[in-house]
Amino acid sequence: MVHVNIFDTTLRDGEQSPGVNLNQLEKLEIARQLERFGVDIMEAGFPASSQGDFEAVKSIAQTIKNSSVTGLARAVKSDIDIAWDALKDAAEPRLHVFLATSPIHMQYKLMKTPEQVVQTAVDMVTYAKQKFSHVEWSAEDASRSDLDFLVKIITKVIDAGATVINLPDTVGYTTPEEYGRMFRYIRENVPNIHRAALSCHCHDDLGMAVANSLAAIENGATQVEGTINGIGERAGNASLEEIAVALNIRKDKYPYATNLVLKEIKRTSDIVSRFTGMKVPGNKAVVGKNAFAHESGIHQDGVLKNALTYEIITPEMVGVQSNDLVLGKHSGRHAFKDKIEQMGFVLSAEKLNEAFQSFKQLTDHKKEVTDEDLFTILIDIQTAAVDVKKYELVAFQVQYASANLPTATVALTTPEGERVETARTGSGSVEALYNTLEALMKEKIHLTDFNLSSVGSGRDALAEVHVKMTVNGTTVSGRGSAQDVLEAAAKAFINAVNRVFFNQKAAKEPATL
């Protein structure tokens, strides 16, 4: 079987999804999960884009040992220098440098002639090779580029030392037949192509990103790039979990091997969804809630007789647990610890203690605590920042009566350690609560999105709230969970505001979990 390298760009192209705003600890946690999932290469960010991204890439590079860590750079020396500073401690540092090659990008965006583009690409790959032994060069908008121009520039950048050539469908324009033909053409016409890996990178604007990636693999791509849950710019990137499962289920058609651990798919998808606030649609292939649900009587009957009648992927294959081992009021610390280890969490003694207390509090109100509940509690504790000044909720009360204006009273401690308290009204309970929280904070806050969902089912399910807001002009997101919807709403608001303090601290020093 031919081996195909998996290049994950959830933390770079995925993080470019509108409204997504991960902090350093969340990025680090996603990176650790990507390592468990078995990706060969992970793109941890774009170090020159901001100090925060630089620090995040640096901490991931210092932590991850079993995947090669890369960072994006424009074709300019300063980006390459900054990327090297962020990546030099990685087990296998790698640079990803890109330059557009399509006529429209060269003329209007770069304002360079094709000859100048070739020269810049060659110069920057040569420069990068003085620092990095692995250099990936991307021909941005390759799918709308002239094939013979691609042959010429690829030949030269390989001579300059590029070890991977990536041909992105940047605007999600191509079709499987066309994209496959481009890979075949490059394989057959670039004389030194055997000296580099050939990579595909697809966007989903026309809904063909996964199909296009598979066509590229069939036509000579030895590396595939994508994101978890298909998140990314505009309509997103090719969904890596879909590619992984397609390659596995249809081995008959795709005789290609990867290092991915398919059982880690569900956990990886859950973590990415929770941190980004981008819910996975119920009907999403492979990881959607309904991917294994059979509604029609005929289908249910068939599955009971033989699962293969309507089920081509088993839930177990992608790590969906069918037998949630439920914990309850009487479960002790030992059972709790075993359970969370089974779920893939490694917590410090202090955080384990905190998690056990939260679990015990939950069992006072909820008879059975499911895996989903535990995951929600644990993931928040796992990535809670320590040693950062922040607002903390002391107590709150909301009065609602259908005939009166809702009123909220809130007590908080401020980042300076002062206890403050006030009350405000609003046209609804959440508005009253948010008006009160805002009145207690010094920051200028503007809420842009509010999303409430339940974790699992049942009347006693946990509530989860995701918010997006600007705080002093910076866009941040926040999340909070609790059994009560208003408490979850308050936590999400405070979590979003506290991110501003965390980001300020993290921009100065790398964070650790």
Pairing type for strands 41-43 and 445-455 reads unpaired
- CA-nearest of 21, 11, 15 to 468 is 21
| Shortest distance (Å) from residue 144 CB to ligand KIV | 11
Our CB check for ligand KIV shows the closer of 225 and 464 to be 225
Question: Binds 35, which of ligand KIV, Zn ion, none (CB < 5 to 8 A, cut-off by type)?
Answer: none
Residue carrying structure tokens 């094709």? 114
**Residue 43 interacts with Zn ion (CB under 5 A)?**
no
| Shortest distance (Å) from residue 407 CB to ligand KIV | 49
Say if CB 168 and CB 209 are below 8 A apart: no
Q: Count the site residues for Zn ion by CB under 5 A.
A: 1
| Shortest distance (Å) from residue 212 CB to Zn ion | 13
Chain CA centroid to CA 327, Å: 29
Our CB check for ligand KIV shows the closer of 72 and 398 to be 72
Say if CB 328 and CB 360 are below 8 A apart: no
| Shortest distance (Å) from residue 350 CB to Zn ion | 39
135 beta partners: 95
Question: Binds 377, which of ligand KIV, Zn ion, none (CB < 5 to 8 A, cut-off by type)?
Answer: none
Question: Binds 140, which of ligand KIV, Zn ion, none (CB < 5 to 8 A, cut-off by type)?
Answer: ligand KIV
| Shortest distance (Å) from residue 14 CB to ligand KIV | 10
Our CB check for ligand KIV shows the closer of 209 and 494 to be 209
Question: Binds 98, which of ligand KIV, Zn ion, none (CB < 5 to 8 A, cut-off by type)?
Answer: ligand KIV
3 beta partners: 257
Our CB check for Zn ion shows the closer of 109 and 253 to be 109
Q: For residues 494 and 485, what is the distance between their CA atoms, to the nearest angstrom?
A: 14
Which residue from 7, 11, 13, 435 is in contact with Zn ion, where contact means CB under 5 A? 13
Say if CB 92 and CB 69 are below 8 A apart: yes
Question: Binds 138, which of ligand KIV, Zn ion, none (CB < 5 to 8 A, cut-off by type)?
Answer: ligand KIV
Q: For residues 453 and 461, what is the distance between their CA atoms, to the nearest angstrom?
A: 10
Our CB check for ligand KIV shows the closer of 4 and 482 to be 4
Options 13-21, 156-164, 346-354, 395-403: segment touching Zn ion (CB under 5 A): 13-21
Question: Binds 134, which of ligand KIV, Zn ion, none (CB < 5 to 8 A, cut-off by type)?
Answer: none
| Shortest distance (Å) from residue 237 CB to ligand KIV | 8
| Shortest distance (Å) from residue 211 CB to ligand KIV | 17
Residue carrying structure tokens 């007789």? 305
Options 9-17, 118-126, 408-416, 479-487: segment touching Zn ion (CB under 5 A): 9-17
Residue carrying structure tokens 């059975």? 368
Token code pair at residue 256: 């290609």
Q: Which long-range contacts (CB under 8 A, 24 or more apart) does 458-463 make?
A: 460/365, 460/366, 460/367, 462/362, 462/366, 462/373, 462/376, 462/488, 463/487, 463/488
Our CB check for ligand KIV shows the closer of 144 and 187 to be 144
Question: Binds 434, which of ligand KIV, Zn ion, none (CB < 5 to 8 A, cut-off by type)?
Answer: none
Q: For residues 512 and 506, what is the distance between their CA atoms, to the nearest angstrom?
A: 10
Our CB check for Zn ion shows the closer of 234 and 365 to be 234
Burial of 113 from C-beta contacts in 10 A (0-12 / 13-18 / 19+): exposed
| Shortest distance (Å) from residue 202 CB to ligand KIV | 8
Question: Binds 94, which of ligand KIV, Zn ion, none (CB < 5 to 8 A, cut-off by type)?
Answer: none
Say if CB 29 and CB 245 are below 8 A apart: no
Contacts of 458 (CB under 8 A, 6+ apart): none
Token code pair at residue 455: 């974790």
Angle between helices 240-249 and 209-218 (to 10 degrees): 50
| Shortest distance (Å) from residue 35 CB to ligand KIV | 22
* CB-nearest residue to Zn ion: 13
Question: Binds 222, which of ligand KIV, Zn ion, none (CB < 5 to 8 A, cut-off by type)?
Answer: none
Options 8-16, 27-35, 174-182, 497-505: segment touching Zn ion (CB under 5 A): 8-16
Sequential DSSP letters for 353-407: HHHHHHHHHHHHH-SEE-HHHHHHHHHHHHT--SS----EEEEEEEE--TTS--E
Our CB check for ligand KIV shows the closer of 147 and 298 to be 147
- How many CA within 13 A on the CB side of residue 415? 15
Q: For residues 235 and 224, what is the distance between their CA atoms, to the nearest angstrom?
A: 18
Residues in touch with ligand KIV (CB under 6 A): 13, 72, 98, 138, 140, 168, 170, 201, 203
| Shortest distance (Å) from residue 202 CB to Zn ion | 8
Question: Binds 165, which of Zn ion, ligand KIV, none (CB < 5 to 8 A, cut-off by type)?
Answer: none
| Shortest distance (Å) from residue 122 CB to ligand KIV | 18
Q: For residues 483 and 508, what is the distance between their CA atoms, to the nearest angstrom?
A: 36
Question: Binds 21, which of Zn ion, ligand KIV, none (CB < 5 to 8 A, cut-off by type)?
Answer: none
Our CB check for Zn ion shows the closer of 13 and 29 to be 13
- CA-nearest of 183, 200, 129, 182 to 159 is 129
Residues that bind Zn ion (CB under 5 A): 13
